[in-house]
Amino acid sequence: MREFNSLFSFIAMRHDAARVFDDFLTLVICVLARQTQEDWYLSTIRKYSEDEINRFPKMLGSLFIIYENARRAGEWTDPLGSFYEAIAGNYKKSGLGQFFTPQAICTMCAQMIIPKGTFGKNINEPTCGSGRMILATHIHAPGNYYVAQDMDHICVKMTCINLAMHGVKAEVHHMDSLQNNTPWNSYIINHDYWKTKTPFVYKINKGD
């Protein structure tokens, strides 16, 4: 993530780091939404200068390379969650500060809880964070459908992107799982991935 961090740091010099990271996640989701979120994209990008805007596609390109390398190796990766953890210590006043289960433990838990060969099941992750447990389970036992929830909108966006880029079919809800409230937003992930092999995120707003 060295190149990604360099590009991010340039933008974060003039803007709040938490806002830059959140906006970047929004822009990625808009890219993966196949032109269904153009208004959201435009309202997000307009606060940045032309020089800053030109850096966002480069950030996305470096991120895609990381996902592709993991895919070719038959592994899972969470570059967004790792970066989120790393910058939390560098921008202490930014509002960032969550830390996620280490990848090795996620893999161990997936292997202990989900029998290998499990296929076609609906699996719930009520506190998904950046989606690591789902990613580990997907590599261990592919072919299942996941329902994920988290009350932190940044976590929800990271999960959407991570699952989309790993070819996971899922739905992700921005909600409080303990209160079981109506989701503030929901996202459908890769509903036609089996046919297109293209990552897709479709946003459903509350009330739609």
User: Could you read off the pLDDT of 90-138 as tens digits, one per residue?
Assistant: 655 455 556 789 999 999 999 999 999 999 999 999 999 999 999 999 9
**What number of CA atoms fall less than 13 Å from residue 23's CA on the CB side?**
22
Q: What is the DSSP string of 53-70?
A: HTHHHHHHHHHHHHHHHH
Q: For residue 12, what are the contacts with CB-CB under 8 A and spacing of at least 6?
A: 20, 91
Q: Which residue has the higher pLDDT, 88 or 92?
A: 88
Give the per-residue pLDDT at 1.
85
- DSSP lists the bridge partners of residue 146 as 123, 170
Say whether pLDDT at 207 is over 70: no
- Which residue type does 136 have? A
Rounded to 5°, the CA angle 30-99-133 comes to 70
Neighbours of 61 (CB within 10 A): 12
Work out the average pLDDT over 174-182: 92
Q: What is the pLDDT of residues 197-206, one digit of tens each?
A: 999 999 987 6
Residues with Cβ within 8 Å of 60's Cβ and at least 6 positions away in sequence, in order, are: 27, 28, 31
Domain boundaries, the chain: 2-90, 103-205
| pLDDT averaged over every residue in the chain | 92
Amino acid letter, residue 16: D
Tokens of 74: 């038959």
Sign of CA dihedral 32, 35, 41, 46: positive
The predicted structure's pLDDT at residue 95: 53
Give the residue from 69, 51, 63 showing the smallest Cα distance to 27. Answer: 63
Joined together, the tokens standing for residue 199 give 């990552």
Segment 137-149 mean pLDDT: 97
- pLDDT at position 174: 96
Q: What is the CATH number of domain 103-205?
A: 3.40.50.150
Whether the pTM exceeds 0.85: the reply is yes
